Amino acid sequence: MQKPLFTVSFILLYIFSYSQTMRPIEDLINNKEAGWILVQEWIDQAKNKVEVLARDSVKAKDALYKTQVTTRSPMGAVIYSTGGILVDDGWIRILGSGSIRLPRSLPEWNNGKTFSEYGQKPLFYLVADDAIGGFFAINGGALGSDPGKMYYLSPDNLEWEPMEETYTEFLLFCFSGDLEKYYEGHRWNGWRKEVASLPGEKTFNFFPFLWTKEGKDINKVSRKAVPVEEQYWFTLDMKKQLGIK
């Protein structure tokens, strides 16, 4: 995999270490070294199907300000230049500044989950999710001893699994990685058509649950679309009840 262009320390500096003093939007927009040029190149060379959702310029500025990252970084570029990114017909939803089809901006989605007030240091930061109720996050210290690396909250074991990737590497993985291998056993017959029509604010909930013995065969379980917000809190509640950290 291509080496990340931005180090872990860079990510930590602008996501996990900023204080209540919020930098103005003018300090966050970098037109000379726009990270979107690089991200667009990765998308143009993508092996997987990638759809960039149109942004609203006002919402983009608001989301960038609330996240406090610069547009020189891949994350800042995604927030400022897109309403979000759909991969594999929406199987993976990478959060940006929000759009009609993905009505969740990255900072708004995290508010109340990883922090309670903009400007606070999050212990982890939710950046994407998928159609089967899995959640991707950057570790801010709460998920492991590798701050700045990506984790996946897997619906088949309810554990935060280390991905050993930075956010930049995660984007590259989404665009050109082997998603069939990564999701082996979790894609049912005819999944693409169903996922393509799934709204960005919903995800699939399965029964029997995927973490149970009875739920291991994805083609034999029932599924229904539920609000992704509901699925997130349900997953955390199940983790607590089952004593899974």
Q: Note the pLDDT of residue 17.
A: 53
CA distance 200 to 225: 11
The parts of the chain modelled with pLDDT lower than 70 are 1-20
pLDDT at position 15: 58
Residue with tokens 């995290």: 110
Q: What percent of the chain has pLDDT over 70?
A: 92
Distance in angstroms (rounded) separating the CA atoms of residues 165 and 127: 13
What homologous superfamily is domain 8-242 in, according to CATH? SMI1/KNR4-like (3.40.1580.10)
Residue type, 4: P
* pLDDT tens readout for residues 212-241: 999 999 999 999 999 999 999 999 999 999
Q: 45 is written with which tokens?
A: 């060379």
Q: Which residues 6+ apart lie within 8 Å of 195 measured at CB?
A: 88, 89, 90, 91, 131
Q: How far, in Å, are 48, 70, 120, 123, 130 from residue 21 at the CA level?
A: 39, 15, 9, 18, 33
220 CB burial (10 A radius; 0-12, 13-18, 19+): exposed
Do 206 and 223 contact (CB within 8 A), yes or no? yes
Domain residue extents for the chain = 8-242
pTM: 0.93
